[in-house]
Structure 1
């Protein structure tokens, strides 16, 4: 069956292209409409108008539902490219002076957002007071997809891999600390070695967190017993540590909150300097605001370095008590 239809005069609207992309992503009229904050009839009507504009059948009915045709999927990919170019045009307009203006969409991974985002935003507001900050929290894979699709302007993530469409600047070296209950055998030491984890039960975040992968590498190098118990956040994992269910590796940036005095957790630095992660600010390489984003990343890195310069973990006492929480910021 041919997918060609009669072509109507005129061009498709940006909104129609957004509806097409949503329909392709969700594969369901109702879910696509909800994602676009419109009614199902509105989205269906606009898709039909788009079909007439383009002369291509975008959907076909199968049973009681609809599916996107192969031609529709090809059009959705082209629509994504158009929307990316449109967003970049808007970015160019907002960044064509010395400062950013308008909405600035930022997302951070869950193991960094609660601990670093506020400090980042202070620098952004100081350098670009006209921006309207729009914040989100996404796991690394979703964050990268959103950046590439121009749904985000900036992302904060750990250990970014090389990507043709993305650029990044490292803003923080974030050493990992061993977090444990104060009664733990290693809590009496001022620092610990990676080999000290041998035989320990190390609690992990659930699948999908990049920190989980980093901790797994450390555990498997020394034969530690890694355990996943459904920890959805560092806060949850730390509560499990305080309950004596095991130990965990905690980023230094998270320690002032998760291992503060009174939490029932102590932290000790590793003598092995390789036990760390790198946090980076990431953006689209083609973005017209890329030079401003790089400048921001360098300013944030300098500010974080200044804040951390005098806050290295202090030595542990020989007899730590329940309230002892040696942490670095």
Structure 2
């Protein structure tokens, strides 16, 4: 096969599957099937369970993962394992989405009688409106897939793609109707970038306790410089005896002091510190703190409580190291 012929054949696969998706998309508005399925999912008080055999099973796993990712409790039930005890995971409050293009997959059809006894609602996603699955399920969506993209018109290709996209559509619409938010998404993806953005707060990242660089007002500039060098954050907070924040000394303040020829060896910190510096609280989201740092052209923030007492120190490097960006 020539390289050009390979490309032509590959493009035909794309065209066939795209045409199938357009066909199924058009069918959404031609009857109430999609809305009926969504109504069943919306009314579910338990879990949305996906079930399928072979390639349909792989698609079912992905659809289930999408539902769970978007805040709708879901898992995949292997039909073979279901017949050997896993039906114990199914409850009357659940909704089962059964996938079979032929609608006659033995393993899938075989669990229907037990599901009916349990009382769970059943949804069929199939390409055969006359099939056992279509007849026996409470709700049915027929995927009109006249041809597979496979050259032999045998391997599940167009049908699995259409089912996958339909599953995504069902999950996304159901999630929107339930009012699922970015914060909800982040809560379910704590290891991901978005999860960190909506969950990580200043208190999770800031230097605290013995790691906070601070000195008391009235101390010498050299003492403050030594504290800054020891803690390695390029900043030191100045507090009173009650640890109320009074000022801040940064590398920039020291450079400006040198330019003004201030005696760094004999002067006191009050002469060179930034008075009443900007500060943040520990409950602020780290991404919001990063935004403020950027907006105010700062490298760090002292962290204070409600009485302006120093409780931590945050630098932009701490936030970036956590993988949080704007």
TM-score bracket, normalised by the shorter chain, equals: under 0.3
The alignment's TM-score, normalised by the length of structure 2, stands at: 0.24
Greater relative contact order (CA < 8 Å, ≥ 6 in sequence): 1
Q: Which has the higher helix share?
A: 2
Q: Tell me the TM-score normalised to structure 1 length.
A: 0.24
